[in-house]
Every structure is written in C-alpha cells, then in structure tokens.
Amino acid sequence: MTSSRFLVATLNPGKARELSGLLGGLPYELVTPPELGITSAPPEEGRTLEENATAKALYYHRLSGLLTLAEDSGLEVEALGGEPGVRSARFAGDWASDGDNIRLLLHRLAGVPPEKRRARFRCVMAVVACGSTLGLFTGQCPGIITTELRGQAGFGYDPVFLVPEIGQTFSQISAEVKNRLSHRGGAAKEAACFLCDIMNHSGAPTTLKPPVGTP
C-alpha cells in the first residue's frame, strides 16, 4: 500500500464532521466508509473503549486496505458509578436515539444535586495499518450533567454536558471551541502528531511496523 488516503472510520455523520475538522490539517486525503461504499459496522462487544476503538479500526482497515483511525467515546457519570461508559451510544437500548439516551440519563439523575452530577467524556482513538495497531490515543473532558437540554448544536449527550470552565454545554459553543476543549479534540491532537511524525519519517505510513509494546 502506498496510498496517502486515510480512512476516518465512522458511520456517524456528527463524528465524521468533527473528526474531519480535527484531522483536516494532516498530509493525507481523508475519506469515510460511505465514500468507499462501506456501509456495514462491526458489533461493539468490547468491555472497554480501547477494545471497541481497536476492533472498529481493524474491521474498517480490513475492508478498505487503508491507514485507518477509529474511535470510541463514552460518558462516565460519577453518580451512576461510571455509567453509561462504554455503552453510552446504547444506554437506552441497541437502537436508541440520542434523545432516548438523554431522557434516560436525566431520569436516572432526577433529584441528584448539581455537586453530585459530575461527569467526564473520555475518548480513545486507534490507528491501524498493515493489519496491526500502530497506536492508541486518549483524551478526556470533565463536566457536569445539566437538568435540561441547553443549545442546539452537536450530537449525543452534548446538550446536557456542561463544561464548568466556560459555563456552557457542548451544544452551546462553536465547533472551534468544542474541538479545543473536548475529549475527542484531545485524542485527535495526539493522533495527529503521531500521524504527521510517521509521514515525515517514511512518506508511506502503511510500511511502518507497530511500535514495541503497542497492542
């Protein structure tokens, strides 16, 4: 493989937009699965974000043959013992909508005071090439779960995730500010530095062997 195309492996339009914005400065041609005619998704059976991100990256890499990045993110709420965590996208059921998940979250937190509604978003990104994982990159963002939806932008739990640093939810801020503060932005920054480094050193990332100790 000598192609400099880079697969951003998600079928979620909101995630695809964010990741394209976060990784758009890389010296690669970014493509998504639908652009390659890939519309299937692997089952998310991992017990951790790391397992799911790696499984998704390997799945789409095998279908495309491209250098691939996949991510898995989760909302961890302190008062719920870390739930929904790895099941954030399926909190209210396997086919739940964002609205379904938010309604269940607010129901589970009904009556919980603000000081006990602490939470964090966590993201893990996996980069895969030549059938192996080249690296795992993480990011996190602390916040508080609101009692009602605030804002119109974003996706997922964004309307109820308030960032104390700015006093607004992810749905109330611009994409630029969200990318700077978010868990996904933090993980993408690490991944982007790694990808630029391997491109600068080899010019053909897919020829590299995984670093020693990388799962």
Question: What is the residue extent of each domain of the chain?
Answer: 5-207
- 94: Cβ contacts below 8 Å, ≥ 6 apart: none
Selected residue with higher pLDDT from 200 and 175: 175
- In angstroms, the CA 170 to CA 178 distance is 6
- In angstroms, the CA 105 to CA 41 distance is 25
**What is the reported pLDDT for 155?**
93
Confidence of residue 24 (pLDDT cuts 50, 70, 90): confident
Confidence of residue 196 (pLDDT cuts 50, 70, 90): confident
Half-sphere exposure of 65 (CA within 13 A, CB side): 4
Determine the average pLDDT of the residues in 35-60.
95
Query: Parallel, antiparallel, or unpaired: how do β-strands 29-31 and 5-8 relate?
Result: parallel
Q: pTM score, two decimals?
A: 0.86
**Mean pLDDT for the chain?**
90
| CB-based contact 66:7 (threshold 8 Å) | yes
**What is the reported pLDDT for 201?**
66
CATH of domain 5-207: 3.90.950.10
* Partners of 133 in beta bridges: 128
Confidence of residue 8 (pLDDT cuts 50, 70, 90): very high
Exposed/middle/buried for residue 110 (C-beta within 10 Å: 0-12, 13-18, 19+): exposed
| CB-based contact 103:147 (threshold 8 Å) | no
Of 72, 94, 98, 197, catalytic: 72
Exposed/middle/buried for residue 39 (C-beta within 10 Å: 0-12, 13-18, 19+): exposed
Query: Is pLDDT of 173 > 60?
Result: yes
**What is the reported pLDDT for 1?**
37
Selected residue with higher pLDDT from 103 and 214: 103
Please work out, in degrees rounded to the nearest 5, the angle formed at the alpha carbon of residue 210 by the alpha carbons of 58 and 135. Answer: 65
72 is catalytic: yes
- In angstroms, the CA 139 to CA 3 distance is 28
Query: Is pLDDT of 167 > 60?
Result: yes
Confidence of residue 191 (pLDDT cuts 50, 70, 90): very high
Selected residue with higher pLDDT from 197 and 40: 40
| CB-based contact 187:125 (threshold 8 Å) | yes
**What is the reported pLDDT for 2?**
39
